């Protein structure tokens, strides 16, 4: 497990650059980059999805990202302008252009919202964002972020979560894999855009179908 402590690495925890994590996890420490994940086989033999997978070829505009992440457009705009969470596909440049967010960007947006709601400092959230950006999909799916309100820790196993809770370091947790699935479910009903062609991908929304049935019945 890793943690993001505002004043550096918490006592007893190792930074991401110190090698394998101890049983109690690691601190996502500001200013200490995490290892760059490869796109080859992950632990357990699960391959990392290639960069050109279908999910990586679809982008989402600001209003869609807000809807899927559960944030306001004002938050989205502020976080982009301050560099907290910038769109990785297309930034806003000049009049008339719109930001385009990737699926992973929206997962990060949703996690940032939850961290802010629980009172985690902006400094620690920035460190957590850098850490999330550096990890592969398989790592994210099994990751849990824990925090005591002052420090954010990464847990990659149930034992690490228990260790933190028993040590009084974990007050709340965010299962990144659950957030990932929540965003998948939300985006399955929202329009996307092909990155290569700009084609709008129309999603079927249950309320749209209900409206069509009502119109036919009327």
Spatial distance between the Cα atoms of 161 and 157, rounded to a whole number of angstroms: 7
The pair phi, psi for residue 194, each rounded to 5°, is -65, 130
Tell me the per-residue pLDDT of 47-79, one tens digit each, with 9 for 90 and over. Answer: 344 444 455 689 999 999 999 999 999 999 999
Tell me the domain boundaries of the chain.
3-31+53-217
Which residues fall within 8 angstroms of residue 29, CB to CB, at 6 or more apart? 2, 3, 4, 5, 8, 9, 15, 16, 127
pLDDT value of residue 28 = 66
pLDDT value of residue 169 = 66
Could you name the CATH architecture of 3-31+53-217? Orthogonal Bundle (1.10)
The residues with which 60 forms a beta bridge, in sequence order, are 101
User: Tokens 């947790």 correspond to what residue?
Assistant: 173
pLDDT value of residue 17 = 27
Tell me the per-residue pLDDT of 81-106, one tens digit each, with 9 for 90 and over. Answer: 999 999 999 997 766 678 999 999 99
Using alpha carbons, select from 187, 207, 191 the residue that is nearest to residue 199.
191
pLDDT value of residue 106 = 96
User: Exposed, middle or buried: residue 92 (CB in 10 Å: 0-12, 13-18, 19+)?
Assistant: middle
The residues with which 144 forms a beta bridge, in sequence order, are 155, 175
User: Tokens 């749209």 correspond to what residue?
Assistant: 208
Q: Measured on CA atoms in the order 200, 201, 207, 211, is the torsion positive or negative?
A: positive
Ramachandran quadrant class, 80 (left: phi over 0; alpha: psi -120 to 50; beta: rest): alpha
pLDDT beneath 70, residues of the chain: 1-56, 94-96, 169-170, 203-218
pLDDT value of residue 205 = 53
């Amino acid at each position: 497990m890793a943690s993001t402590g505002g004043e550096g690495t918490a006592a007893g925890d190792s930074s991401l650059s110190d090698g394998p994590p101890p049983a109690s996890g690691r601190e996502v420490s500001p200013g200490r980059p995490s290892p760059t994940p490869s796109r080859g086989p992950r632990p357990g033999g699960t391959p990392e999805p290639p960069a050109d997978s279908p999910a990586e070829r679809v982008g989402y505009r600001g209003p869609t990202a807000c809807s899927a992440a559960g944030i306001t457009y004002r938050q989205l705009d502020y976080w982009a302008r301050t560099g907290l969470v910038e769109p990785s596909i297309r930034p806003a440049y000049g009049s008339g252009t719109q930001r385009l967010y990737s699926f992973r960007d929206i997962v990060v947006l949703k996690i940032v919202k939850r961290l802010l709601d629980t009172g985690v400092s902006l400094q620690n959230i920035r460190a957590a964002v850098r850490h999330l950006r550096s990890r592969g999909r398989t790592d994210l799916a099994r990751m849990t972020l824990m925090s005591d309100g002052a420090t954010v820790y990464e847990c990659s196993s149930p034992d690490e979560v228990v260790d933190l809770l028993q040590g009084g370091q974990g007050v709340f947790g965010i299962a990144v894999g659950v957030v990932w699935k929540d965003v998948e479910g939300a985006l399955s009903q929202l329009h996307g855009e092909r990155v290569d062609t700009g084609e709008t991908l129309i999603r079927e929304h249950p309320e749209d179908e209900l409206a069509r049935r009502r119109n036919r019945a009327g």
